[in-house]
Each structure stands twice: as structure tokens, then as C-alpha cells.
Amino acid sequence: NAGVTQTPKFRVLKTGQSMTLLCAQDMNHEYMYWYRQDPGMGLRLIHYSVGEGTTAKGEVPDGYNVSRLKKQNFLLGLESAAPSQTSVYFCASSPLAGGLSGNTIYFGEGSWLTVV
């Protein structure tokens, strides 16, 4: 059982280039998320999806787009990369919406992106 898989793991982009980060989960989870992690800060939610065909903005959505054409995949796109988007990106998934019972999130291993 692979869990949450992200590709690529490392990438260097030039300012203005575009790229897509791929995320796949094999746990049949409804909810998927993209976070970014920067030094000295916690994870910040970029976009999320509550099911196939749906997407929604998180805390820091500007400069990113996402798509969830299939339940198991959640794609994060950078249309025109900027140095401020240098970060570690984590994809995650969860089976539930949350509430009192909790919303345990399962993370991928991360994608290190550098924009020069």
C-alpha cells in the first residue's frame, strides 16, 4: 500500500516557467490537500478538494491552480513560477471532513521546488 505518492521529489525551475506537481493516493480518500512548508513556519494550505471534480482555495492560493479529475489524483500547477514559490510542497489526503471525530491527514513525502 503506497499511501500518498508525490512526483517529482526535486525540481529546479527558472522564473516564469510552468510545472505541475502530481499527487496520487490509493486509500480511496475523498479529501485531498496541497500544503507548502517554509522554514520557521508551519504548513500552509494552498488548495484542497472535497471530492472528484471539486477544488477550493486554502490560505495561500495565489499563483497556483489545481485539478481533481480523478478521485485518486490531485494536481498542483504553477503557471508562472516565482522565487517566492521556492518551498517544500506536501500533498495529503483524508477520509473524513473532520469535526469532533477528527480529520487525520496522511501526507506524502514532499516535493522540493526551487525557483531561480
Partner 1 sequence: SQQGEEDPQALSIQEGENATMNCSYKTSINNLQWYRQNSGRGLVHLILIRSNEREKHSGRLRVTLDTSKKSSSLLITASRAADTASYFCATDSMFSGGYNKLIFGAGTRLAVHP
Residues binding partner 1 (CB under 8 A):
4, 31, 33, 35, 40-45, 48, 50, 56, 58-59, 90, 92, 97-110
Using DSSP's 3-state secondary structure scheme, residue 40 falls into: coil
11 or 106: whose CB is closer to partner 1?
106
CA angle at residue 111 from 20 to 3, to 5 degrees? 95
Judged by CB, which is closer to partner 1: 33, or 64?
33
| Max CA pair span of the chain | 44
CB of 66 to partner 1, least distance (A): 15
CB atoms under 10 Å from CB of 4, counted, come to 22
Nearest to 23 by CA among 84, 89, 96: 89
Q: How far is the CB of 17 from partner 1 (least distance, A)?
A: 25
Q: Closest CB to partner 1 among 59 and 79? A: 59
Minimum CB–partner distance for residue 28 and partner 1 (Å): 18
